[in-house]
Chains A and B, each alone.
Chain A
């Protein structure tokens, strides 16, 4: 009897300390259900990884699985690291190299993707690479545009 009360007391104290977390999770699960519940899996992935997911899907459509692509990314240095690993994940087994220079090229890598990050991302992590729109225009003019999507173009 005494041990039962002691255990109940311990459980009550424990659950009281848990309560704020449980309440918070109740709210989070409810909000997530409202925002994502009616979306398809693809739409959910795009919603939580904007613009990376859609950009990677576009590149995947333009570059064959055995292909190699240099992604000239107009984004900040921290986000460049993020996109490097994210695009490598989405685009495997393609060889993907992200650079924050508009003139970058790699021998044996015939595809070029031009990716432009969203303004909030750039405000958070400003661009610090080298970007020359005219030079990029001249370069892509001599290539074939494979596809153009929101925030990304793929050339060969």
Chain B
């Protein structure tokens, strides 16, 4: 797995690194997230084209691209920044839960608790690996209704890549993809938080995310599930689209669009998310009356390709289609709220989100910020929609899905809060600067120059 993660990170760095304006943490996190997704798509393309799945064939196209990328890359060791007391404490606290969970995850084989890992995600990874392609499994999909043949294939195909490198279907290796995504989640979160808030705020919220119980459970106890991967893509896409809305940088739009598409390639919740992201991008470009084909291309190329791929390859989902059952809405809503505001699994995440919504209203934060809680609300609404239209028994469904779905959204909720806290500190600092009378005209001049 370390080799698979390193190769995915390199591939991702080659593909998106030039648009990532951040240090080595961001390059590693976004590189892994993008690389795992792109390698899964590459395996699919090779499989459908009948090219044998050998590590050399998978890695070959990346080699010249890597050489080209290295040519223009900065060299030298990453700089380690000096941290103040609060920052150092926050960084130390961020290590607590991962250090307790990681040895446990590495020791545990796939057990009865990892149902979806072996029944859905890693089952397909193993089948694809042993068959040497995707057609064999889909030709027999009727035999495996429990394997949910309509689910998207990022995690299974990345698992296949891990097996190709390992040389066997070693599921204890493949299930490490969840901890890898967890660390990518932390890196991506810090990068986004740092772009929205000062460093102490970003580090404190990073520590809070790293120790969030349900996020830890999903990443380490339920290793091999696709939920942590989806968290990364949803966080990155929503965060980047929020930043694009605020600052209008095309690189943020292109990356946001790519990660939203990879969310749809990871889980069905990601498809609903992609629909929301697509509406958001089209609305922004429409409001600006932009006719720039490059912006429209950046916004719509990867979502369009992903939707077409899903429609062409995967069987239709059988999750919905039981007709509307509005009686499910009440229990569903009560459960969503009851679980979200339970401090056991989610600590104060959703309480702080509610407080930050009120604060953002008072601070008059822009639409770029509102995209973050808006995405949480959008996804929760989608979940309720599934409960209302789905055909499963509601209590069973809530019991098997709700906690994981809230865990997917918790990082985004914390990012929204971190951004609101950052904006609050900035406004308070700015107000105190305005209130402090200048000592002399020379100081005033200097202060003015500094602010400019």
**A and B interact:** yes
A13 to B348, Cβ gap below 8 A? yes
Taking a contact as CB atoms under 8 Å apart, the answer to whether B108 and A32 are in contact is yes
Contact A14 B146 (CB under 8 A): no
Q: Is B32 interfacial (CB-CB < 8 Å)?
A: no
Chain B: interface size category: 35 or more
- Complexed CA–CA distance, A37 and B106 (Å): 10
Cβ–Cβ < 8 Å partners of A25 in chain B? 97, 100-101, 104, 216
B107 interface hit (Cβ, 8 Å): yes
**Which B residues touch A61, using CB under 8 A?**
none
In the bound assembly, the distance between CA atoms of A21 and B212 in angstroms comes to 9
Interface centre among A48, A82, A95 (most CB of B within 10 A): A48
Q: Is A118 interfacial (CB-CB < 8 Å)?
A: no
Number of interface residues of A (CB under 8 A): 36
B204 touches A22 (CB 8 A): no
A10 touches B204 (CB 8 A): yes
Interface 9-residue window, one of A1-9, A69-77, A134-142: A1-9
Asked if A93 and B89 sit within 8 Å, CB to CB, the answer is no
Binary contact track A10-22/B, C-beta < 8 Å → 1, others 0: 1101110110011
Binds B, one of A84-92, A107-115, A122-130, A145-153: A84-92
Q: State whether B112 touches A48 (Cβ < 8 A).
A: yes
A window 1-60: CB within 8 A of B: 3-4, 7-8, 10-11, 13-15, 17-18, 21-22, 25-26, 28-29, 32-33, 36-37, 41, 44-45, 48-49
In the complex the two chains form, is A89's CB within 8 Å of B123's CB? yes
Do B200 and A29 touch across chains, with their CB atoms under 8 A apart?
A: no
Q: B90 and A11: CB pair below 8 A?
A: yes
Question: Chain B 98-119 against A: per-residue CB contact (8 Å), 1 yes, 0 no?
Answer: 0011011001111110010011
With A11-B93, A17-B343 as known contacts, state yes or no: A22 contacts B131, CB within 8 Å: no
Query: Is the pair B200, A3 in contact by a Cβ cutoff of 8 Å?
Result: yes
Per a CB cutoff under 8 Å, which of B104, B131, B204 touches A93?
B131
For the A-B complex, the count of residue pairs with Cβ-Cβ distances under 8 Å equals 114
Contact, CB under 8 Å: A18 / B347: yes
User: How far in angstroms is the closest Cβ of chain A from B332?
Assistant: 25
Q: DSSP class of A's interface residues: helix, strand, loop or mixed? A: helix
| B130 close to A (CB within 8 Å) | yes
Q: Would B89 and A11 count as touching, CB distance under 8 A? A: yes
Contact of A17 among B110, B123, B348 (CB under 8 A): B348
Residues of chain A with a CB closer than 8 A to B343's CB: 17
Q: Which among A18, A26, A48, A92 is the interface contact of B130 at CB below 8 angstroms?
A: A92
The CA of A37 and the CA of B126, in the complex, are separated in Å by: 26
- Are A92 and B123 in contact (CB-based, < 8 A)? yes
Contact across chains for B211 and A7 when beta carbons are under 8 A apart: no
Other-chain residue from B109, B119, B147, B200 in contact with A4 (beta carbon distance below 8 A): B200
**Which residues of B lie under 8 Å from residue A45 when comparing CB positions?**
109-110
B127 on the interface (CB 8 Å rule)? yes
Closest beta carbon of chain A to B54's beta carbon, Å: 19
Q: How far is the CB of B389 from chain A (nearest CB, A)?
A: 25
Residues of A within 8 A of B112 (CB): 48-49, 82
A3 and B108: CB pair below 8 A?
no
Residues in A with CB closer than 8 Å to B143 are 88, 95
Nearest to B432 among chain A residues (CB) is A2
CB distance from B144 to the nearest CB of A (A): 6
Residues B211 and A22 in contact, CB atoms below 8 Å apart = yes
Q: List the A side residues contacting B208 at CB < 8 Å.
A: 10-11, 14
Residues of A within 8 A of B90 (CB): 7, 11
A84 to B213, CA, bound (A): 32
Nearest neighbor of B127 in chain A, beta-carbon distance? A92
CB distance from A81 to the nearest CB of B (A): 8
Minimum C-beta distance from B166 to chain A (A): 13
Pick the contact of A44: B109, B123, B212 (CB < 8 A): B109
Is A49 a contact partner of B204 (Cβ separation < 8 A)?
no
- Asked if B201 CB lies within 8 Å of chain A CBs, one says yes
B207: interface (CB < 8 Å) = yes
Whether B347 lies near A17 (C-beta < 8 A) is yes
**Minimum C-beta distance from A121 to chain B (A):** 11
Q: Are B118 and A86 in contact (CB under 8 A)?
A: yes
Contacts of B123 in A (CB 8 A): 85, 88-89, 92
Q: Which of A3, A36, A88 has the most CB of B within 10 A?
A: A3
**CA separation between A59 and B258, bound complex, in Å?**
44
Cβ contact of B204, chosen from A11, A28, A44, cutoff 8 A: A11
| B211 close to A89 (CB less than 8 A) | no
Residues of B within 8 A of A (CB): 84-86, 89-90, 93, 96-97, 100-101, 103-104, 107-112, 115, 118-119, 122-123, 126-127, 130-131, 136, 143-144, 146-147, 172, 200-201, 204, 207-208, 211-213, 216, 343, 347-348, 425, 428
Apart from A8-B86, A14-B207, 4 more pairs, CB < 8 Å: A41-B172, A49-B110, A85-B144, A92-B123
Binding site for B on A (CB under 8 A): 3-4, 7-8, 10-11, 13-15, 17-18, 21-22, 25-26, 28-29, 32-33, 36-37, 41, 44-45, 48-49, 81-82, 84-86, 88-89, 92-93, 95
Top-8 shortest CB links A-B: A48-B111, A29-B104, A45-B109, A85-B146, A21-B213, A85-B119, A25-B100, A18-B211
26 residue pairs A–B, Cβ–Cβ below 8 Å:
A3-B200, A4-B85, A4-B200, A7-B86, A8-B86, A8-B204, A11-B90, A11-B208, A15-B207, A21-B216, A22-B100, A29-B100, A29-B103, A29-B104, A32-B108, A44-B107, A45-B109, A48-B109, A81-B146, A84-B146, A85-B115, A85-B144, A88-B123, A89-B119, A89-B126, A92-B127
